[in-house]
Structure 1
Amino acid sequence: MLFRRRKPVTISERLRAFLWPRKGLSRGPRYIALRILRLSSTPHAIAVGVAAGAASSFTPFFGLHIIIAVGIAFLFSGNLVAAAITTALANPVTIPMILTASYELGIAILGVESAHAASSADVMRMVEHFDFSALWGPVFKPMLIGSLPLSAAGAVISYLAAYQAARLFQKRRQARVKDPGSST
């Protein structure tokens, strides 16, 4: 073969590369951030898109995050691409933390006592039997109520950070275009 390795990759090397990539764990998030900053839009539109994506990532509506984010960004004249990309905040690593935080916050807001809260065994039994009407009160309602403040806080924080980052990035880009001889 033309592009085959001379020395085949061992299983231990594959496992190490899966757990810790050669280029590091921060390469992916850095690429996504630069992809968002390079969008040709105003800093406000980019920031609204990022805020919409972050807000939808905190909701328990898995599978609908992109649709929700694009809808919110469209309503508030945000960048649709930034909204769709930012929904990657809800990924297999962060989803358990988001669900736990929204559930616990919902329990605290609703004032549900620990005796009335569902245990994880109860939830798994209800999911196995497809008893979603029984899941509404003890699980989905607190999770939905708890996700609202988390979504609002995530939207505000991400809007402020994205607006400043986009404004600074575009300002530096314009300075480089005006004076191509200077190096950064």
Structure 2
Amino acid sequence: MTAPASVLGVHISLDHAFSKQAADEIELVAGLGVAGDCHKGAQVRHRSRVAADPTQPNLRQVHLMHAELFDELQPDFDIKAGDLGENITTRGVDLLSLPTGTTLKIGATALVSLTGLRNPCQQIEAFRPGLLKRVAYKNADGHLVRKAGVMGVVVLGGVVRPGDSIDVSLPPQPHVALERV
């Protein structure tokens, strides 16, 4: 029997540092993201995307990472929750297999709609040499596999804490696989 999906940790960063600091709780704000986080906003906040077009909608308001990735990377890489810049570290939900538009009810009220896959970048390689090849690689069929978590937008706000439950609701068929955002 598998454990129910839950929040392992929550993280925030006021500046554009690669890793985020652990917090006792974070507040998700509808249409904006994580209160106090540098990526909060209705328009893009990631520096490369702001440089390209600052009026783009922010489809990366919340970054969720599955703790199972950290387990998989052991013992080669000592990675802990928040190290890869995620706001919410989960356990017990296969984030990467969920379709676009999946909603995650987190805690009592927060609702996040998944928009896509995080695109791993050179910052991951700078953080731990060799890590990029483990979180972004081509499979046997030649397709690029991205394992650095998923991105979402906040539909309903609320406070999220470690230990909170996560309820997954799939969108109507046909499902569309998550792509890079």
TM-score (norm 1): 0.24
Larger Cα-atom Rg: 1
Higher strand share: 2
Higher RCO (C-alpha under 8 Å, 6+ residues apart):
2
TM-score if structure 2 supplies the norm length? Answer: 0.25
